[in-house]
Structure 1
Amino acid sequence: MSGAAVIPLALGLLVLGNLLASVSDVAVKLLEGGISPFQYIFIRQGMATLLVLPWLLRLPKAGRRLHAPGVTLIRAHLVLVGSGCMMVAVTYLPLATANALFYAAPLLMLPLSLWLLKERPPWTRVLATGVGFIGVLVVLRPQHFHWAALFALGTATTLALFHVLVRRLPQRQPVANTVFWTNLLCLPLAAPLALFHWQPLSMTELGWVAVSAVCISGYNGLAVLAYQKAPSAQIALAEYSGLLFVTLFGVWWFAEVPDRLTVFGIALILLPMLPLPRLFGLHRLVPVRK
């Protein structure tokens, strides 16, 4: 396939992936807090582990082994914390507001990279990150502050740490290996927490959790395919379609119409992450799904 045809295909895959991830957020909101976050995490991660298992088994024996167990274990428990915070935030906040705060994760990666990886970013990137944090403050306006916003910021923080620690994994480790072991290693802690907080689960609630697991797995697979087909700098803008989708779904399903100041704050959060390297000195700061 020619290069001219590959870019639209990759963009389409990424937009479809973000649509699936947005449907996952809708599924979580439709749970309406009817199950505990620990139940949700355990069931979703268990389903996600089973979904990726066939892809792991297709790898050679060396590609199936667990590498960097310490880092993988830390990342697994970041998934546990971040997913729980995400469920609380999406349940109690408008979808657009919660996702805008999730998009603060790439902004938090700058100080974390400086601290953990000893990277020294250019001043233009620091300035752009500052603009994004102003956007976060606008979305968090004190007069409209909701306690669930703290959980959204918790999700953003765990996402940032999760992706900074990718640099500590073997560079050539297969994606299926990384995803499988990350999902599996969070289950030993998620299981007793889920059992301790277990609540009766209807088939409808189980169905929404299954929708979330399938959609997030679909997003991860489509994103990998997209970035394998085209340079990230040429298609990363499609990642931001997710915020558009959740805003539209919020209006459609839940009558959540964001006000103008919230829209302005969202724009400030997204601006530093757009692929405008000449303006901001950035390469790619895109949020990856929780």
Structure 2
Amino acid sequence: MSVFQVPDDANVAKGISLTLIAILVFGVQDVAVKFLVTDYPFTQVVMIRFWGVGLFILAWLWREGTLRTALKSKAPYLQLTRATLLVVDIWCFSAALSLMPLADLQAIFMLFPIVTTLLAIPMLGEQVGLVRWMAIIVGFIGTMIVIRPGFQDLNLGVFFQLGAVFSFAGYTILTRMVSSKDRTSTSLAYMALVGIVLSTAVGFRSFEIMTPQALMLMGLIIITANIAHTLFTMALREAPASILQPFNFLMLPVAIVFSFIAFGDLIDSISLIGASITVGAGLTVWWRERQKKIRTGEDIRGEIR
């Protein structure tokens, strides 16, 4: 039986600081991606991103001397499915970025923890009480307020972003499932290899020569992706994910500010109200899950987006 331990306050503060910096870095990455996908196929942008991030991961594992053992999985089919869902998530998010303002996308993505809880019922056999069921329903209502079907023309990007939400939720569930079977290095290796292969198979067909300015943006995307993921990993070493996870909702205000600065886009008041409702529902789900883990004495370290 694992024992719940209260983390050191200094470590928690450091973990929170690293998480906040990572969120800002991810915001910069999203802006750079949006600039690129307006002029180049999103599949090409995703392909080059996976080349940069995937090769960095594989090189790091090789340098640590763990690459060969990392490729040996006790659940290879789960790992392949998990990595494929991540590629689909990034494809969908990048496609949506080419069609919609960044802030609107993040408003819809706030539905992610709600969908994750919903998928955990059949996939992990989790029991969901009345409060979390109510939060799930309220979260979907908030997202419907953002999308407003029937009251405005639905942008195709909405469907891509919903695809990103569901695929990332599935990826997160499978991450929990493989974490009890394989090392973290194995999950990273599969993510890198599958990402490189799948993104190249699709992206190379629509490849276009990029300008020097576009290549600089592409380099920025690769650098920020590696930095942000490294910061999140460092943050999880300092504090439990259950403490850090609520700060992920700050991706929405960051997206609103960056979207206005870079593109002059402003999220409308109705969408902001809907997003706030979804965020509130997501925080309710997080709080109930955290209380459950504390009562059972379960170690609440885990993965953060």
Cα deviation digits, residues 254-286 of structure 1 (max 9, x gap)? 111112111111111111222786xx62339x9
1:125 counterpart residue number = 132
**Shift in Å at residue 23 of structure 1?**
0.9
3-state SS of 2:281 partner? helix
Q: Give yes or no for contact 2:116–2:170 (8 Å, CA) kept in 1.
A: yes
**Equivalent residue in structure 2 for 1:153, among 152, 162, 183:** 162
Instruction: Give 2:137's aligned amino acid.
Output: G
- Of 232-241 and 46-55, the range deviating more from structure 2: 232-241
Does the C-alpha gap of structure 1 residues 102 and 59 become closer, same or farther in structure 2, counting only changes over 3 Å?
Answer: farther
Q: Does 1:192 align with 2:201?
A: yes
Alignment partner, residue 103 of structure 1: 110
Matched with 2:76 is: 69
- Structure 1 residues 271 and 287 mapped into 2: Cα distance closer, same or farther (>3 Å)? farther
Equivalent position SS for 1:92: coil
In the other structure, the counterpart of 2:246 is: 237
Match of 1:283 in 2: 290
Deviation at 1:183, TM superposition (A): 2.0
Looking at structure 1, the residues matched to 157 and 66 of structure 2 have their Cα atoms a distance apart, in angstroms, of: 44
The one-letter code of the counterpart of 1:157 is: F
Say whether the 8 Å CA contact 1:52–1:176 is kept in structure 2: no
Query: Structure 1 residues 195, 232: CA separation in 2 closer, same or farther (over 3 Å shift)?
Result: closer
Does the residue aligned with 2:290 lie in a helix, a strand or coil? coil
Which residue does 1:40 correspond to in 2? Answer: 45
Q: Are the counterparts in 1 of residues 110 and 249 from structure 2 also a CA contact under 8 Å? A: no
Per-residue CA deviation, residues 215-234 of structure 1 (Å, 9 max, x unaligned), is: 22222221121122112333
Tell me the CA shift for residue 41 of structure 1. Answer: 1.7
Greater shift, 55-64 or 208-217, is seen at: 55-64
Q: CA deviation at 1:18?
A: 0.7
Alpha-carbon distance in 2 for matches of 1:170, 1:287: 10
**Gapped regions of structure 2 (runs ≥ 5):** 1-6, 292-301
* Bigger Cα displacement from structure 2, 213-222 vs 254-263: 213-222
**SS of residue paired to 2:11:** helix
Relative distance call for 1:238 and 1:54 in structure 2 (3 A) is: same
1:21–1:287 CA distance, 2 compared to 1 (3 A): farther
CA RMSD of aligned residues (A): 2.3
Contact 2:241 2:304 (8 Å CA) reproduced:
no
Say if 1:237 and 1:275, in contact at 8 Å, map to a contact too: no
Q: Distance in 1 between matches of 2:105 and 2:65?
A: 37
Match of 1:248 in 2: 257
Provide closer, same or farther for how the CA distance between residues 59 and 264 of structure 1 changes in structure 2, counting only shifts above 3 A.
Answer: farther
Q: Contact 1:45–1:184 at 8 Å: present in 2 too?
A: no
Cα 1:206/1:69, change in 2 over 3 Å? farther
Q: Confirm whether residue 269 of structure 1 aligns to residue 278 of structure 2.
A: yes
TM-score of the superposed pair, with normalisation by structure 2: 0.85
Whole-angstrom CA distance in 2 between matches of 1:74 and 1:235: 27
Which residue in 2 is equivalent to 1:140?
147
* Cα drift, residue 195 of structure 1: 2.1
C-alpha displacement of 1:181: 1.8
Matches within 5 A, 1:173-212: 173-212=182-221
- 1:19 — aligned with what? 24
Assess if the C-alpha contact under 8 Å between 1:236 and 1:275 holds in 2.
no
CA distance in 1, matches of 2:268, 2:194: 41
